Amino acid sequence: MVTRENIGSWLEGSPAGGEGDDRGARLGLPRDGSGSLAGLGRRIVALLIDWFASLLVASVVFPHDSASRSWGPLAIFALENVVLVGSIGSSIGHRLLGLRVRRVATPPAEPVVDDGHAPGFLAAAIRTVLVCVVIPAVIWDGDGRGMHDRAAGTAIVRR
């Protein structure tokens, strides 16, 4: 159930009064180190690596005069994310930058125990569709999670 506090977190910034000291605390994640929320810079670089890999594959798979060439990179990007995040918990870019996608409860009923499993294909598909739409991926909550992660019940954490 969505409460006033959940909606307010999107507007009020970090739960530590703007200092960002407790990013992820509401999710039961550590403040720093392995398992903590990944920083924006690493997430953006991972996204760019995945996008350029998709462009490279699309340039090989689709002929230069094909109409599908314009949508090809996005389709390959989506397929890569659903398959890799759903099965192993990280895309190529995530893996190279020491990140992974994990399931989290919002808000957690008890501290989250990371079982090490990938979030699954349904969560990966939800994340991927929203990342491909772009707008939800650039809207964050007070913990720094994008709307795509919040909708999928996931977070990108450091390995």
Of 113, 130, 127, residue with least CA distance to 155: 127
Does the CA dihedral 88-91-97-99 come out positive or negative?
Answer: negative
Angle, to 10 degrees, between the axis of helix 121-133 and the axis of helix 72-88?
150
pLDDT digits (tens, 9 = 90+) for 140-150: 887 778 889 88
Structure confidence by residue, pLDDT tens digits, 42-68:
999 999 999 999 999 988 888 776 666
Give me the pLDDT at residue 19, please: 46
The CA distances from residue 144 to 18, 76, 133, 148, in Å, are: 12, 27, 19, 11
Angle, CA 99 vertex, CA 53 and CA 22 arms, to 5°: 140
- Whole-number Å distance between alpha carbons of 59 and 21: 43
Residue 10, pLDDT > 50, answer no
Residue type for position 71: W
pLDDT at 137: 76
116: confidence class by pLDDT, cuts 50, 70, 90? low
From CA 91, how far away is CA 18, in angstroms rounded?
31
List the beta bridge partners of residue 140: 146
